[in-house]
């Protein structure tokens, strides 16, 4: 096989393996929310937020592991960590154990995604990079969506779903470990002093934090909210499925709008729209005809908040800071993702189950208010770059993260 053909096979195998990971990850996220609700754990918010804490830590630290042992071995190590933590979970049911194990899963998933995306970035020619990443992102969106369909047939209280997740990660591990490939070179990202990004693009920093807050609460708590509302498991699966697909469908049109108009105004419109739909979710009848369109809109508005904020931040910063800016926004969004389930769970306990939607609506309204005020007070920035990228839910901040070279467009 020619070198070009070998490279295409390598890239194809990597994309397919990571899509399998996302199939398992999409199923795991919704299943875990439902399982924690059935266990009636005292620290359910902490248990649900542990994944995002581990994910954020992994996004910031796993690059050093990849630099030290290489992409293929790192991918195998991260997938093995997820599999090991997952298989132990049904054997050690409890808040403390599940906080630690779920954080390990988050750390491992972050490592897998950073390994994959930096590997693709290094092995793909600049002229074809956009096409390859588009295929990769569509594959991950579709896999995340299909993972929701497994919920309809899952026995939430049995250990079988954990075994399914382990099997999917193991298949991906075998595919990547057996790949005939040379490890790509990794370059370290330049540092960005604290405060520089906040002063240059405050709405981007606040927006990333609030979008992480909203996304963390949505994926961790909404399935449990629907279960407590008496929704059928098939309905929950369809709701989460169309939310993910809505996120995919909104990426390109919102990206074009944000390239034509002041991104802060686009962010304001998205946030305000999400707040209205989230508030209406409490009032809508629990029928598929009512909630599925709402789920599409919620997923679409929610999944585009982060990339618009990232694009605005890059508008305000020099092009040679793109990697450092992405890394800083990962941290901010990750902190928001950790706090989302914690705050949302406490509000659900205090204001009954509808508190999670009031919480998300309030956070989105604050972001809309700030975006509107900033767009009035400050003129739109001169565009240094326009790096709006399709980002997948849950792992969105990693789509072009710390290991990406600066020539990525």
Averaged pLDDT, 306-332: 76
Report the percentage of the chain scoring pLDDT > 90. Answer: 18
pLDDT tens-digit readout, 186-204? 555 556 676 777 888 888 8
Token pair recorded at residue 178: 């057996």
Token pair recorded at residue 150: 């497994």
Picking from 89-93, 262-266, 328-332, 397-401, which range would have the lowest pLDDT averaged per residue? Answer: 397-401
Q: Which residues of 84-106 are buried (b: 16+ CB within 10 A; e: fewer)?
A: ebbbebeeeeebeebbebbbbbb
Averaged pLDDT, 272-286: 89
Query: 41-50, 58-67, 299-308: which has the highest mean pLDDT?
Result: 299-308
State the pLDDT at residue 389.
57
Query: What's the gap between Cα 82 and its chain centre?
Result: 17
Give the pLDDT band of residue 302 (cuts 50, 70, 90): very high
State the pLDDT at residue 189.
53
Options 3.40.50.300, 1.20.1250.20, 2.160.10.10, 3.40.1010.20; which CATH number does 3-177 get? 1.20.1250.20
Give the pLDDT band of residue 85 (cuts 50, 70, 90): very high
- State the Cα–Cα distance between residues 395 and 380, nearest whole angstrom: 29
Report the percentage of the chain scoring pLDDT > 70. Answer: 81
Instruction: State the average pLDDT for the chain.
Output: 80
Class of domain 196-244+251-394: mainly alpha
State the pLDDT at residue 404.
42
Q: Do domains 3-177 and 196-244+251-394 have the same CATH topology?
A: yes
Please tell me whether the overall predicted TM-score, pTM, comes out greater than 0.75 for this model: yes
Residue given tokens 């996304």 in the structure block: 215
Residues 6+ apart with CB under 8 A from 15: 120, 132, 135, 136, 139
pLDDT tens-digit readout, 337-377? 888 888 888 887 776 667 788 899 999 999 999 988 888 87
Q: How many CB atoms sit inside 10 A of residue 62's CB?
A: 26
How big is the CA angle at 55 (ends 49 and 58), to the nearest 5 degrees? 145
State the pLDDT at residue 388.
53
pLDDT tens-digit readout, 124-166? 766 666 567 667 777 888 888 888 888 878 888 888 899 999 9
State the pLDDT at residue 179.
66
State the pLDDT at residue 409.
35
More confident residue, 25 or 193: 25
Averaged pLDDT, 263-276: 93
Residue given tokens 């999409």 in the structure block: 26
Where in the chain are the domains? Answer: 3-177, 196-244+251-394
Give the pLDDT band of residue 81 (cuts 50, 70, 90): very high
State the pLDDT at residue 111.
86
Q: What SS3 state is found at 209?
A: helix
Averaged pLDDT, 29-44: 83
| Angle subtended by helix axes 3-39 and 160-177, to nearest 10 | 160
Give the pLDDT band of residue 104 (cuts 50, 70, 90): very high
Q: How many CB atoms sit inside 10 A of residue 257's CB?
A: 18
The answer on pLDDT for 84 being more than 50 is yes
State the pLDDT at residue 180.
65
State the pLDDT at residue 219.
87
């Amino acid at each position: 096989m020619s070198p070009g053909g070998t490279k295409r096979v390598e890239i194809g195998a990597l994309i397919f393996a990571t899509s399998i990971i996302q199939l398992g990850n999409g199923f795991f996220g919704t299943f875990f929310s439902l399982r924690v609700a059935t266990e009636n754990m005292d620290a359910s918010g902490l248990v649900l937020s542990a994944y995002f804490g581990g994910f954020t830590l992994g996004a910031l630290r796993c690059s050093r592991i990849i630099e030290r042992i290489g992409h293929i071995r790192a991918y195998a190590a991260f997938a093995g960590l997820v599999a090991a933590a997952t298989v132990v979970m049904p054997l050690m049911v409890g808040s403390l154990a599940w906080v630690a194990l779920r954080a390990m899963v988050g750390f491992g998933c972050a490592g897998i995604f950073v390994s994959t995306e930096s590997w693709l970035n290094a092995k793909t020619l600049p002229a074809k990079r956009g096409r390859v990443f588009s295929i990769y992102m569509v594959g991950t969106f579709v896999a995340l969506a299909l993972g929701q369909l497994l919920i309809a047939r899952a026995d939430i209280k049995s250990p079988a779903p954990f075994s399914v997740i382990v099997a999917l990660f193991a298949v991906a591990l075998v595919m990547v470990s057996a790949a005939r490939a040379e490890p790509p070179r990794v370059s370290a990202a330049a540092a960005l002093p604290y405060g520089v990004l906040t002063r240059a693009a405050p709405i981007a920093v606040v927006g990333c934090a609030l979008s992480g807050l909203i996304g963390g609460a949505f994926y961790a708590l909404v399935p449990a909210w629907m279960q407590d509302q008496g929704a059928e498991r098939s309905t929950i699966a369809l709701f989460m499925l169309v939310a993910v697909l809505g996120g995919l469908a909104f990426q390109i049109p919102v990206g074009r709008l944000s390239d034509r108009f002041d991104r802060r105004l686009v962010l304001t419109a998205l946030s305000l729209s999400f707040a209205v739909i989230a508030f209406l979710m409490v009032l809508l009848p629990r029928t598929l005809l009512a909630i599925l369109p709402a789920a599409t809109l919620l997923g679409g508005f929610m999944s585009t908040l982060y990339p618009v904020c990232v694009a605005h931040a890059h508008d305000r910063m020099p092009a040679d800071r793109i990697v450092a800016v992405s890394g800083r926004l990962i941290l901010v969004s990750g902190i928001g993702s950790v706090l989302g389930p914690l705050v949302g769970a406490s509000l659900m306990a205090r204001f009954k189950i509808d508190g999670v939607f009031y919480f998300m609506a309030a956070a989105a309204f604050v972001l809309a208010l700030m975006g509107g005020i900033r767009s009035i007070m400050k003129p739109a920035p001169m565009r240094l770059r326009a790096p709006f990228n399709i980002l997948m839910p849950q792992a969105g901040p990693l789509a072009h993260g710390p290991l990406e070279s600066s020539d990525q467009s």
